[in-house]
Structure 1
Amino acid sequence: MKRLLYLLMLVPILTSAHHQVISPNVKSLEVVLNDDFTSLPVLQLGSNDYLQIGFDELSHNYHRYVCHLEPCNPDWTPAEGIFESDWLVGFNDTPIEDYENSINTRTLYTHYNYRFPNSQCNIKQSGNYRLYINDEDQDGETVAIVEFRVSESLMNIGLGITTNTDIDLNKSHQQVNMTINFNTINVTRPDEQLQTFVLQNGREDNLKENIAPNYITPKSLRWEHNRHLIFEAGNEYHKFEVLDPSHITMGLASITWDEEDEAYHAVPFPCSMQSSYLYDEDANGAFLLRNSDNYEASRTSEYVFVHYILRAERPYDNAHIIVDGRWTTEDKDYYIMNYDEQQKAYHATIMQKLGYYNYHFLMKDMDGTTHLVPEEGSFFQTENTYQAFVYYRGTGERVWRLVGYQQKTFRL
């Protein structure tokens, strides 16, 4: 019942894929495809692809967590009018049986790990899926949500990225050109039978949804210099790694132990306004939990408080500045930065597990929409990875299948 009530409260705002941590005692939700932490959670139907889902519960008390799967439409609203037997192989509501207590850490936690698919549960239909992690010891309360896609390669997608856009030439934007070939699928009404989504670095807060193509043929669609497929180029993500609380590692200005609150505090180098582009290899917002030994990191890694600093001459009115990355899975308010008039900078302190992190800063308006922060800069040279998804629902069919997925990285 608690899970259903929570879902009903979230339905108006769940319009894009993202993982969510709901319980304040759950930290470090990680969803990794095929041991590649940079990949988006997109499984190929009928393949050996798998997701490794891990998280920490901040105690040494065992919780019986159960994973409940739910199919969704392309816009992440729940799919209706279908039976579990249509899309599920095996059983729903499977327990998480892989768990271990932390050892030699000041912050006590239990690490839980769940691999999907598994011998008890699999998917036999492409599309979008939401996985609820429910605590049976708390009346089935949902503590976290994972969203992923399952694709089948039935249509071919071609992607091209150019800095010669319909807004500017080699300045601050990148434009996506795209083609879709239907192959053997009979598409007679593409505006009704197809849905398309284009993303930049897996971000769904600025995705381009169902943009009308420039050209339509009986076997294909083409978007060429379409003004609605222009993205701000942005800048490279900031990065740091904190692998051992006893010494400074990449991207850190300092790391110290505070006797008063008995905790480690790490400070990445402050970020300031970028007037020109400087290439710095990043992972486009991804993160990897690890430590210096990289041995049993899931249960031997410490938690530290990370202090983020963004220099800005004045605060922004009617908007919040937030820290953002694929690891920011808690409520967005948790990542809001506060402005310090004396230091002329925004600050945020976030509890994080040892690891490698990418992040950038976003401006969140009062209506919930997000934008790049001007201090970050936007440069056409920025290396970005673009993803395209194509969904198809045939005449008389009840579900949207994900029939095409492609990604391409822009590099000069």
Structure 2
Amino acid sequence: MKQRLKLLLFFIIFPLIIFGQAKEVVPPDYIKTIIFTGKTPESQLPIIKLGDRIVLEFDALNGNEDDFYYKIEHYDFDWKPSNLSKAEYMIGFDNNRIRHYENSFNTFQIYSHYNLTIPNERTRGLKKSGNYMVEIFNDYDELVFSRKFMVYEDQATVGVIVRRSRDVKYYDEKHTIDLTIASSSIQFNNPTETVKTIFIQNNNLNTAISNLKPQYTLGNELIYKYTSETSFWAGNEYLNFENKDIRGANVDIEYIDLEDIYNNFLFTDIVRANRPYTFNPDINGNFVITALDTERPWIEADYAWIHFSLLPEENILNKEIYVYGNFNNYELTEANKMHFNDARGVYEAQILLKQGFYSYKYVLLDKNNKLEEGAISGNFHETSNNYKVLVYYRDLGARYDRLIGIGEAESINIAN
């Protein structure tokens, strides 16, 4: 009877773990600067070709030289655990210690820099395409954080075209993605059931559009030309700052202060939603670690408190506002939430970041906890965004979703 009660409580408390979609675990405060890249280092959404390497780097700021371990799990298109065993998708073993780490050198903030590269001597490679999650554990087998990545086969041609919205109401504010999928090696059987897609703007999985079905079939070519279903708010160019010279004012830094570590105070930003669009080159939410006069920025770049401030307008007062970008994996947490300073009349946030070049924006949550990316920065069709489309295929009777192709386009080459 007691054993049945324990099982019943387990299924009541943990239904999302067993039956729900896998979600990335946000790292604790002492884990910083998670950089997860594939063959193209400037894109920090790791989508790698089957057989290529993948690199995960991060810093631990507690000064303990902790041991960390990694596990790799395979998932279906909808981020539910796949039916494959580890022996079916992995060559070698996981649950290994991350062996490569270095301590910071000549920095105010001490840290240990960890580097995990796959393939390595123990995990010699991945055999299947699809969705994956790498999980990082500590010595007590406690999950510290996790990150998603994707492995694709080059089995389909994915054509992506960015257009202005077909809905006249949003013609100046949204982008619509047209898609064509073709393959010379795969015969698409029953494509409305076997082919799945995910549309991604600026490497942000949190705002991705997924699982749209092809509208037309022309031979073995699948065509997607939706009016609104593949539309994204166009947003605005990201704001940027650079502090590669941590002792001098660089891009968007107003002044600097030194306490235990450096404090970099950015110029106060304004609400751009009701102002004309202004082109400002950015890196679409990404960041790059760089430091002046260093040969090894991964251990010689220092950390600084970055002080953000935003001059509010009436429509955003008493709202939950966050600083947002790939530097925090587009998460909305207390660490990047802004608070109103009555004395200065501005929203403020301070975030501990490693030296480098960062792009960021301000976003808010409405009273229904719905994300509004453009409420502060605005939405303009002129905005240059990066769009990726991933194509998955599971043939009749297959046991997992293959990622058979990837397409990419920039809205700077907008078609209309």
Normalised to the residue count of structure 1, the TM-score between the two structures is: 0.89
Aligned counterparts of 1:9 and 1:134: Cα–Cα separation in 2: 22
Superposition RMSD in Å: 2.6
**Displacement, 1:160?**
0.7
The residue aligned with 1:207 is: 208
Query: What secondary structure is seen at the aligned counterpart in 2 of 1:282?
Result: coil
Post-superposition CA distance 1:287-321 (Å, at most 9, x none): 11121124221222211111111221236478521
The residue aligned with 1:116 is: 118
Partner amino acid, structure 2, of 1:199: I
**Aligned pair 1:308/2:325, yes or no?**
no
Q: Cα distance 1:12–1:167, how it changes in 2: closer, same or farther (>3 A)?
A: farther
The residue aligned with 1:184 is: 185
**Aligned pair 1:23/2:28, yes or no?**
yes
Query: What secondary structure is seen at the aligned counterpart in 2 of 1:334?
Result: helix
- Answer yes or no: is the 8 Å Cα contact 2:156–2:404 preserved in 1: yes
Partner amino acid, structure 2, of 1:71: H
- Answer yes or no: is the 8 Å Cα contact 1:271–1:309 preserved in 2: yes
Q: Cα distance 1:407–1:11, how it changes in 2: closer, same or farther (>3 A)?
A: farther
Partner amino acid, structure 2, of 1:192: E
- Answer yes or no: is the 8 Å Cα contact 2:91–2:127 preserved in 1: yes
Q: Cα distance 1:159–1:243, how it changes in 2: closer, same or farther (>3 A)?
A: same
- Answer yes or no: is the 8 Å Cα contact 2:173–2:381 preserved in 1: yes
In the TM superposition, 1:5-404 aligns within 5 A as: 11=17, 20-34=25-39, 36-46=41-51, 49-79=52-82, 81-121=83-123, 122-136=125-139, 139-168=140-169, 171-258=172-259, 262-274=260-272, 275-314=275-314, 316=316, 319-329=319-329, 332-365=333-366, 368-404=369-405
- Answer yes or no: is the 8 Å Cα contact 2:234–2:379 preserved in 1: yes
Aligned counterparts of 2:21 and 2:411: Cα–Cα separation in 1: 26
Q: Structure 2: 5+ residue runs without aligned partners?
A: 1-9
Partner amino acid, structure 2, of 1:393: R
Query: What secondary structure is seen at the aligned counterpart in 1 of 2:192?
Result: helix
**Displacement, 1:105?**
1.8
- Answer yes or no: is the 8 Å Cα contact 2:233–2:379 preserved in 1: yes
Normalised to the residue count of structure 2, the TM-score between the two structures is: 0.88
Q: Cα distance 1:130–1:392, how it changes in 2: closer, same or farther (>3 A)?
A: same
Post-superposition CA distance 1:164-190 (Å, at most 9, x none): 522447511111111111433232222
- Answer yes or no: is the 8 Å Cα contact 2:236–2:374 preserved in 1: no
- Answer yes or no: is the 8 Å Cα contact 1:214–1:226 preserved in 2: no
Larger displacement relative to structure 2 (28-37 or 366-375)? 366-375
Aligned counterparts of 1:340 and 1:315: Cα–Cα separation in 2: 17
Q: Structure 1: 5+ residue runs without aligned partners?
A: none
**Displacement, 1:328?**
0.7
Identity of aligned residues (%): 27
Query: What secondary structure is seen at the aligned counterpart in 1 of 2:309?
Result: strand
- Answer yes or no: is the 8 Å Cα contact 2:199–2:210 preserved in 1: yes
Larger displacement relative to structure 2 (124-133 or 197-206)? 197-206
Aligned length: 399
Partner amino acid, structure 1, of 2:377: E
Q: Cα distance 1:322–1:15, how it changes in 2: closer, same or farther (>3 A)?
A: farther
- Answer yes or no: is the 8 Å Cα contact 2:191–2:214 preserved in 1: no
Q: Cα distance 1:196–1:352, how it changes in 2: closer, same or farther (>3 A)?
A: same
Q: Cα distance 1:205–1:266, how it changes in 2: closer, same or farther (>3 A)?
A: same
Larger displacement relative to structure 2 (306-315 or 89-98)? 306-315
Aligned counterparts of 1:13 and 1:257: Cα–Cα separation in 2: 49
**Displacement, 1:201?**
0.7
